[in-house]
Amino acid sequence: MIVSFYTLITAALILLSTKLQDIVGKKKLFLIGVVLFGIGTFIAAISLSDTMLFVGWSVIEGIAGL
């Protein structure tokens, strides 16, 4: 179920990310995504519950994976 939410969040934000690339710039948006992805990975790695794993992997990494 957590994998499904990761895919859903990533798919929902694809069009938004292309517009953000035009506004912010590709390099800056890439660096922001790398930092957010690292934070999400860290939270998922130290997760003690399903909720923490859901927030770290599905939500944060789903947003940053664009």
CA–CA separation, 49 vs 9, rounded Å? 20
Interval 8-18: pLDDT, tens: 888 888 889 88
Residue 41 lies in domain: 2-64
Q: Which residue has the tokens 């399903």?
A: 50
- Is the four-CA dihedral 45, 34, 14, 55 of positive or negative sign? positive
Interval 13-38: pLDDT, tens: 888 988 999 999 999 999 999 999 99
CA dihedral 36, 40, 42, 43 (to 10 degrees): 140
Q: How many domains, in total, are found in the chain?
A: 1
